[in-house]
Amino acid sequence: MSKNLVIVESPAKAKTIEKYLGKDFTVLSSIGHIRGIVKKTKDGTPPIDVKHDFKTQYEVDPEKRKVTAELKKAVKAADTVWLATDEDREGEAIAWHLCEVLKLDPKTTKRIVFHEITKPAIEEAVKNPRTVDMNLVQAQQARQILDRIVGFELSPVVWQKVPGGKSAGRVQSPAVRLLVEREREIAAFEGSATFKVTAIFQVGGDTLKAELPQRFDTEKAAQDFLESLRGATFSVGNVTTSPGSRNPAAPFTTSTLQQEANSRLGFGAKATMASAQKLYQEGKITYMRTDSVNLSGQAIAAATNYIKSTFGDNYSLVRKFKTKSAGAQEAHEAIRPTDIRLERASSNEYDQKLYDLIRRRTLASQMAPAKLEKTTITITISSGKRVFEAKGEVILFDGFLKVYGVNRKEDAILPSVSIGDNLQLDSAEARQVFARSPARYTEGSLVKKLEDLGIGRPSTYATIINTVQVRGYAEKGENEGQPRDVIVLSLENDTVKRNVVQEKTGSDRGKLVPTASGQVVSDFLVNHFDQVVDYGFTAEVEKEFDDIASGTLPRNKMLREFYDPFHALVEQSGDIKRSEVAQARELGKDPKTGQPIYARFGRFGPMLQKGDQEGESKPTFAPLPAGAKLETVTLDQALVMFKLPREVGTTEDGQVIKSNIGRFGPYIVVGKTFVSIKPLDPFTITEAEAREKYAEKLKKDAEKFIAEFDGGIQVLNGRYGPYVTDGTKNAKIPKDVDPKSITLETAQKMLAEAPAAKKRPFRRSAKRSTKK
């Protein structure tokens, strides 16, 4: 063992650093956090004792015991220990936990930080060690403790009071609220339509496309205008040109990287951070969790030299950007390449795309602005006072656009014309255009909104967006939109024609759409726990974390001021009625029975209910029609759904086949065997189609079940090959063993030798269909 032991949190990072430190240093990894807050204490005291200054008990993660033992052994053999975990609060907390577990004194143990994994940066860090910054550690603890308290005290309330509610989080809940409020803005949006008029002219063999600046409110007004163009003459009334310029954006912060990677590359926040982490650990980019737009003098000089040698002196313009965020968590650099000359940093396609984006953005930030010339041609009409306008833009000098082109189509280049030139009208068109409703959030635009509101920090954006989807409160849309009719009036050969064409509207593909569960939970929290979902309050909490990190606010004072009013709301929650939270809406009465029909939220999502819980007979339930919402579903739509289950026919051996819709979509049931019939409709599926689906299911089940023994032990064909299972434990069957030859004794022996199944987070599971 070397005299010096360096501990980092990532094996990839350890491998890169070890190349630079030489034989006197050994670099080991903790593989992330080694300790977490205990779930249950041995002495019965709370894991977080709110009555005694929020004293928190930690335990080593069972999966990290082997790593911890190796680190303890290495610490004993080393003369000097260096803690080189990431330089943010999370990294500082890992360093402190390592001190606690490895019996190191945080007041004297050497702590080194660097924002890029390069030889000069590592050597400089070793020359200037510090100790563990307990202010940063306490800021991380405050976040962790608050998140744990909110989750542990509020989630059980959500389980009890909200049908289908899974959990509530301190930062995820405001994010869900943003999605829900935007969805309601879209639903409340009152669309309007106008008519936009465009025309195509011929001038000297060139084509000139122009547009009428005004729009018409009615089809008649648009038609009257087109009629007025018949026989009219057109000429150039004016030509104006004006210089313009475009400046590059600042280098990337975590937030802007996630936004731009989403917009340009289609990467989600989680995928972006995963790729950035790999690039950082391989020494290709600087630290990827940062609020700063600053570049070091060395980085600016390197970029300047590269730009001048590659593109010329006129492309270079040194810029120093200032970070706008007053509460920026990290005071280091923006995200940039460690070597601006390196064009290819990874053999992985996704990592390389992200690296290229970071590199081009960094170069662009130190380049000259693009110089443009904007031109407007005004076209007069002999038959009236209105004018057409043709607008174009010419790039005179591309500047930074040489490496970071704009993410849109360039405006048209206009033909050369002079005032007084006559133009020949080719065609004119008045097209119906519709006002756009507010756009749903993408992952990138949600990150921007959270940042604008001061909610979350660089290390939390990706986690927030991932959590709201994992919890089932939002999902990525897949709808390509619905067709709608568009009126098009066209003037050709002095004749106005009317056509109706179709276009798609309302696509939510790739957008974050709140689920019905997300809407109910969000409404519940807004009504009863406003503190948790209030944007201003959540942002203020983030600021207080910053104050703890800077040493200006005591940790326990901040925690107490949050906890006491929050806990009071939890204690008062017993009076909340679950039936009110379910948002039941009476649609009317069933004409046949007179029973009320409700649209409400149930355990597995939105549904319809016929009859009351308190009535003599039990209520019956049905799913919502496809595309319908609790707020908009009608009585007529609901009555149709209560025609399910529908008797489709019989199987070849005379068993009744019924169709219905369940949690996972349309299905048929024969006895106790359930068969999905997607994409068929349960209202129209024929007996022949149902028999075919049923036969396919029986065949699949027969292929799956190889053998079955007493005691519930089975030999099955699985996704990854044949295996033995007793329902709780699985054992893979070796390739050289015929699964049909497995005996009960062999199966029992294989299960006894198989490792115990890992415990998974609780989730409700669907019942498996039984074998016939």
Give the bridge partners for 203, in sequence order: 206
Tokens of residue 702, six digits: 């027969």
Length of the chain equals 772
Q: β-strand 387-397 against 370-381: which pairing, if any?
A: antiparallel
Sign of the torsion formed by the C-alpha atoms of 171, 176, 179 and 183: negative
Distances (CA, A) of 352 to 84, 252, 363, 403: 26, 16, 16, 16
Tokens of residue 682, six digits: 């349960």
DSSP, res 348: S
Chain-centroid distance of CA 369 in Å reads 33
Q: β-strand 656-662 against 25-29: which pairing, if any?
A: unpaired
**How many whole angstroms separate alpha carbon 632 and alpha carbon 639?**
14
Q: How does DSSP assign 625-668, residue by residue?
A: PTT--TTT--HHHHHHHTT-SEEEEE-TTS-EEEEEEETTEEEE
Q: β-strand 422-434 against 474-476: which pairing, if any?
A: unpaired
Among candidates 187, 251, 157, 91, which has minimal Cα distance to 525?
157
Report the catalytic residues: 287
Sign of the torsion formed by the C-alpha atoms of 474, 476, 482 and 487: positive
CB-based contacts of 454, cutoff 8 Å, min separation 6: 327, 538, 539, 542, 543
User: CB–CB of 600/609 below 8 Å?
Assistant: yes
Distances (CA, A) of 666 to 609, 676, 688: 18, 6, 17
CB-based contacts of 197, cutoff 8 Å, min separation 6: 211, 212, 215, 216, 222, 225, 226, 428, 429, 430
Among candidates 230, 365, 335, 214, which has minimal Cα distance to 272?
335
